[in-house]
Structure 1
């Protein structure tokens, strides 16, 4: 009987303690919460756009939002609402000033931000290429390996002989016939261009395509003669390419 009474007392004590323990109070929602800015990748022009990111409660009036960017102990940008950054590692301080329930307040967040360039090319990378369009002995264009290094990827493509390309162009002339005489003129120019390269000792031509950075869907197109860069252009350049280049592109 004693054990039963002791057990009953213990059970009552446990129940009482459970009842008396107060439920933890939920933390009050903050009027403004600054979010961590995700790491960025650059676009075709070599930069990434960075903006403050935050959430706010109802009846909060945001007075000011600004970022200060540090790198290597130096202040690069101060009190900016948006900034474009090149590849690198930065320290970002975001400050949001707001008014809530009649009072002016501010919240601050510091973070590390990394801006990267992946296996893609920028317009600056394209402009850094050394091209020998005439396949001249006095000029040495970039090799396939150097081009891959400058454009940050190996690219993809195919190689062919001048004779094979000339045969394709001749077949294209026959196919078009008299229906498109202006295109036939361009094809003749292209054939002359290929034969000129052949006369200078070119035995192998190779086309390669490299992905451009960003969401603009831009690619870089390169042509090599005996492994030397003789042409490099992006999608926008294709709109202004020479007649011979246009015919070569059509044949390939």
Structure 2
């Protein structure tokens, strides 16, 4: 009888120990899951970038020289850089390293062939180019109601009474900013030739 009781107590004790171990395992804090890290790949700069073509200004019958304009990344080898130019439906130049253009509006396609890590590629860009003639006018007539002269004509001509009272004002002079000119000139020499004299202040 005593042996049976002892065995029963031993089984109960073992069961209690196993149960308490399982409970502890369940209650124990679980290791936090590794935080997910979002990695954004850095945006790669292009191997070759074709630059914007700005408006060109020429004097008289002169022509503007147009060449391929571009920038490149390190380790990029340029194989060729050429331009194709058209005016309206007419092709003005084909596969040229440079071209001279008279005043007018053109379509310019720049083509750059390059090599990077043994691979040869080509990048192209078509842009509108305006070649304009520089103004030959030495003065611009104004209405005397506005203070601003057109771009390229900074000298203000102010008329009061006879032409003996006509004065011109230069930037930086006392009355320049408040003067409402009747005529604006490219240079002081042009104003003097038109009958104006220099303002003393």
Q: Which has the higher contact order (CA 8 A, sep 6+)?
A: 1
Task: Normalising by structure 1, report the TM-score.
Answer: 0.39
Structure of larger gyration radius: 2
Q: Which has the higher strand share?
A: 2
Higher helix fraction (1 or 2)? 1
